[in-house]
């Protein structure tokens, strides 16, 4: 296998330099399709995107390229098996995107990609079309240069943003097809363009919708106000009682299994560069807020949280209407950390939330999709290969970082396939994923394409 080890990716890097414009215009085509998985109005576009991804895989020389139909959107698959003695890298990503709303706040149209100050502006530019596409182009480059040194499989799904429920079934039923040595994913970020990092943890998720019902109809707030429970007032009371004065979550048992990091682990974390003043300035806030005794970068990564994502009820139209609404609603997410279980936490939430409601209202708690947290050790072959690859292209050793975000399928890859995932993403927190004006730096797009071949090289070396 010596001939493989000698492959130093020089021809691959030349191919990348020579094809930068082509890569970008191909990405633009993908970004033009509104593959919004959450909105049934766009289901044709989501399927068209799957087909475009499949065609892209075929065009770069992969075999067995196909769409696997599911009860939802198709899963795109393609592979190149060059030698059964070589390791196999399974690349995962998602071609679906978040809805672009609020549309008015976009400077350019979300599905008409545009370059401004060296950044690609479009929904999905960073999350995750721009990022999974780096793998397609990196593999194309290695194949064209005759330097592909691992077998490779692609699995790109269309339901990540809505919980990956059909992918879960697909993974359970296709273990042989997906057999590989490591999973490589670019759907996370780095600390900054001059501070590379690798994501070593993701938080899990419990997501619930709550409905508070008071009187059987909307009431005149003068005739009935003060005499009956107002569901909106009550919902606000209940929501605010979910945190105490130290910003700890009050649900009994919520912290029971939370992994506690040692002092030295926390000290290592604190060494990662972070400027609280810049952070506040960037968000235009006077101060941060979170759980006492934890740093900002711990609050959003190694600690569990509870947040209202949406709250509604009553009159929200023009002018004033004096009314006590019959119902009030909220959507609530809880981010979970290692050793918390999504089902368990959802149950604890439901039990507690029902218990704190006054007798004057009825409570309904409806659980949504969830996911388990994930951590990956630093002594894995895959982590080391990613670290060496980033060191090579950034000229600096990447810092391991636990992320606050969630990719629920990653924990399932581990439990079902027995495979660790390497989260080598190239986005920035400031890329505005899920927000208006999502963007992805040209620097990041090309840096990813350059780095991925080195991952293959170092992963192939024993």
Distance CA 258, CA 250 (A): 14
Region binding ligand BES by CB under 6 A among candidate stretches 109-117, 149-157, 321-329, 400-408:
400-408
403 binds ligand BES (CB under 6 A): yes
Selected binder of ligand BES within 189, 214, 338, 382 (CB under 6 A): 189
Region binding ligand BES by CB under 6 A among candidate stretches 52-60, 69-77, 405-413, 414-422:
405-413
Report, in Å, the least distance between residue 147 CB and ligand BES.
Answer: 29
Contact 423, 188 (CB under 8 A): yes
Selected binder of ligand BES within 405, 441, 448, 453 (CB under 6 A): 405
SS3 260: coil
Distance CA 348, CA 206 (A): 11
Contact 190, 196 (CB under 8 A): yes
Name the token pair of 113.
């990609």
Which positions ≥6 away from 52 have C-beta within 8 Å?
Answer: 29, 30, 33
Q: Give which of ligand BES, Mn ion, none residue 113 binds (C-beta under 5 to 8 Å, depending on kind).
A: none
Region binding ligand BES by CB under 6 A among candidate stretches 185-193, 256-264, 294-302, 324-332:
185-193
Which positions ≥6 away from 243 have C-beta within 8 Å?
Answer: 249, 250, 306
Distance CA 221, CA 227 (A): 10
Residues between 162 and 221 that touch Mn ion (CB under 5 A)? 187
161 binds ligand BES (CB under 6 A): yes
Site string for ligand BES, 86-125 (x = CB under 6 A): ----------------------------------------
- In Å, what is the CA distance from 222 to each residue of 57, 226, 227, 324? 65, 8, 10, 9
Name the token pair of 361.
């209202």
Which positions ≥6 away from 444 have C-beta within 8 Å?
Answer: 126, 130, 190, 193, 426, 427, 428
Report, in Å, the least distance between residue 374 CB and Mn ion.
Answer: 14
Report, in Å, the least distance between residue 251 CB and Mn ion.
Answer: 26
338 binds ligand BES (CB under 6 A): no
Q: Give which of ligand BES, Mn ion, none residue 163 binds (C-beta under 5 to 8 Å, depending on kind).
A: ligand BES
| Cβ nearer to ligand BES, comparing 229 with 407 | 407
Q: Give which of Mn ion, ligand BES, none residue 405 binds (C-beta under 5 to 8 Å, depending on kind).
A: ligand BES
Site string for Mn ion, 115-144 (x = CB under 5 A): ------------xx----------------
| Residue whose beta carbon is closest to ligand BES | 405
For 103-124, give the DSSP string: GGG-SS-TTS-EEETTEEESTT
Distance CA 49, CA 31 (A): 9
- How many residues of this chain interact with ligand BES, rule: CB under 6 A? 15
Region binding ligand BES by CB under 6 A among candidate stretches 138-146, 159-167, 171-179, 345-353:
159-167
Selected binder of ligand BES within 78, 93, 158, 163 (CB under 6 A): 163
Distance CA 207, CA 349 (A): 10
Calculate the dihedral angle through the C-alpha atoms of 270, 272, 275, 276, rounding to the nearest 10 degrees: -40
Contact 296, 288 (CB under 8 A): yes
| Cβ nearer to ligand BES, comparing 161 with 438 | 161
406 binds ligand BES (CB under 6 A): yes
Binding site residues, ligand BES, CB under 6 A: 127-128, 160-161, 163, 187-189, 205, 371, 403, 405-408
């Amino acid at each position: 296998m010596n001939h493989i080890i000698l492959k130093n990716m020089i021809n691959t890097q030349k191919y990348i330099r020579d094809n930068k414009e082509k890569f970008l215009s191909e990405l633009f085509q993908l970004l033009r399709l509104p593959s919004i998985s959450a909105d049934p109005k766009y289901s044709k576009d989501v399927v068209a995107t799957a087909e475009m991804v499949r065609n892209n895989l075929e065009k770069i020389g992969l075999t067995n390229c196909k769409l696997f139909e599911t009860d939802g959107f198709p899963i795109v698959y393609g592979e190149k098996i060059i030698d059964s003695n070589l390791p196999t890298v399974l690349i995962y990503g998602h071609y679906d995107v978040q809805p672009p709303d609020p549309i008015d706040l976009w400077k350019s149209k979300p599905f008409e990609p545009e370059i401004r100050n060296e950044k690609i502006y479009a929904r999905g530019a960073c999350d995750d079309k721009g990022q999974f596409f780096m793998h397609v182009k990196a593999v194309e480059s290695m194949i064209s240069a005759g330097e592909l040194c691992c077998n490779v499989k692609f699995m790109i799904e269309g339901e990540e943003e809505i919980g990956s429920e059909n992918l879960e079934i697909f993974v359970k039923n296709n273990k042989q097809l997906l057999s590989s040595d490591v999973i490589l994913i670019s759907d996370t970020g780095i600390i900054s363009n001059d501070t590379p990092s690798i994501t070593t943890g993701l938080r899990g998720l419990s997501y619930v919708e709550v409905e508070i019902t008071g009187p059987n109809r909307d009431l005149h707030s003068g005739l009935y106000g003060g005499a009956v429970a107002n569901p909106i007032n009550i919902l606000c009371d209940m929501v605010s009682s979910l945190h105490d004065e130290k910003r700890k979550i009050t649900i009994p048992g919520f912290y029971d299994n939370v992994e506690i990091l040692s002092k030295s682990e926390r000290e290592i974390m604190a060494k990662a560069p972070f400027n609280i003043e810049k952070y506040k300035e960037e968000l235009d806030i006077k101060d941060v807020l979170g759980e006492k005794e934890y740093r900002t970068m711990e609050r959003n990564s190694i600690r569990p949280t509870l947040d209202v994502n949406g709250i509604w009820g009553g009159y929200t139209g023009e002018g004033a209407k004096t009314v006590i609404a019959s119902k009030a609603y909220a959507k609530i997410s809880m981010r979970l950390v290692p050793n918390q279980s999504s089902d368990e936490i959802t149950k604890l939430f439901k039990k507690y939330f029902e218990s704190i409601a006054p007798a004057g209202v009825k409570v309904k708690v409806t659980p949504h999709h969830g996911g388990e947290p994930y951590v990956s050790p630093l002594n894995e072959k895959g982590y080391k290969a990613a670290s060496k690859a980033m060191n090579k292209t950034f000229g600096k050793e990447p810092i391991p970082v636990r992320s606050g975000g969630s990719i629920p399928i990653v924990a399932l890859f581990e439990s079902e396939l027995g495979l660790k995932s390497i989260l080598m993403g190239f986005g920035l927190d400031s890329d505005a994923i899920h927000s208006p004006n999502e963007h992805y730096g040209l620097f990041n797009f090309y840096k990813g394409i350059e780095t991925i071949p080195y991952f293959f090289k170092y992963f192939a070396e024993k």
